[in-house]
Amino acid sequence: MAADIWKALAEMERRGERGALAIVIEARGSTPRDVGSKMVVREDGTVVGSVGGGAFEKDTVELALKAIQEGKPLRKRFLLEDDLKMRCGGVMEVYVEPVNPKQKLVVFGAGHVGSAVARVGTLLGFHTVVVDNRPGFATAERIPEAHEWLEGNYLEIARSLETDENTYVVIVTHGHGHDDEILQAVVNKPLAYLGMIGSRRKVKSAFDKLREIGVPEAAIQRVRAPMGLDIGAETPEEIAVSVAAEMVAVRRGAEVAHLAMRERVLGK
């Protein structure tokens, strides 16, 4: 049974699926399961394992679905007879830990800045993917901290990129033309974060091109360009810290610092 639990968790991680792990942390008196009993609850309500069946397990599944939705651990204590009308009459408490897929960071451009962003991103717990069209740049030898390395045509990779609300994309290639085509390919995809490096003039030009091809204004406004928090960064490593700080702000829902910087840079 334990092997099935860990196998299910590993499979959810591989597929990027959300779920929760429920663990019995108290069991006194007559109870259907002992302390340490575990159950995985997927987002669709299906389960692997068991914490006891019956009304207790039903309520545990509901608690797990709430934990998944709220994104935070929950615990609840049950008097089995009084609360659930279960004749066994014991006391059980369950702890539920939500299991969220690892957020993915895709860095287009494996030069000095891109390499630094990838390294910091991995330290922050992202599943990091580096992309470059130049032979020998997006490699494990140059950026061993990354998890995946893609070499090929930027536009083709950008168009085929599978994304969701846990995907962060950073555009820092070696050419404005590459940056523009990648931006145009991903701007309408579901993303948590989309950032592009560049001067005020470059950003304005890129945004104008997006409008020319009919990209909705709401999609354009979510592009963080120039990306990063305003910390006076100059070196690739400092820029990476600036960008990483902005991604953390997005992750945690604190975005005021970036918006203030963007208004100054773009003169809005």
pLDDT tens digits for range 207-236: 999 999 999 999 999 999 999 998 899 999
Distance CA(231)–CA(238), nearest Å, equals 8
* Beta pairing class for 38-42 and 19-28: antiparallel
What CATH number was assigned to the domain covering residues 104-266?
Answer: 3.40.50.720
pLDDT tens digits for range 164-186: 888 999 999 998 889 999 999 99
Helices (H), the chain: 2-15, 54-70, 80-84, 112-123, 154-160, 176-186, 200-212, 217-221, 236-252, 256-266
Q: Outline which parts of the chain fall under CATH 3.40.50.720.
A: 104-266
pLDDT tens digits for range 74-102: 999 888 766 666 666 688 899 999 988 78
Please name the residue that has the structure tokens 């991604």.
Answer: 247
The confidence score (pLDDT) of residue 175 equals 84
Say what the pTM is. Answer: 0.72
Report residue 18's pLDDT band, with 50, 70 and 90 as the boundaries.
confident
Query: Which residue, among 38, 150, 155, has the nearest Cα to 99 in the 3D structure?
Result: 38
**DSSP bridge pairs for 98:** 20
Q: Token digits for 220? A: 């354009």
> Which own/partner pairs from 203-209 qualify as long-range (CB within 8 Å, at least 24 positions apart)?
203/265, 203/266, 204/266, 205/176, 205/180, 206/176, 206/179, 206/180, 209/180, 209/184
Flag whether pLDDT at 248 surpasses 50: yes
Query: Which residue, among 228, 153, 167, 218, has the nearest Cα to 197 in the 3D structure?
Result: 228
pLDDT tens digits for range 126-161: 999 999 999 999 999 999 999 999 999 999 999 999
Top mean-pLDDT range of 22-26, 90-94, 263-267: 22-26
Q: Token digits for 133? A: 């069209």
The confidence score (pLDDT) of residue 3 equals 76
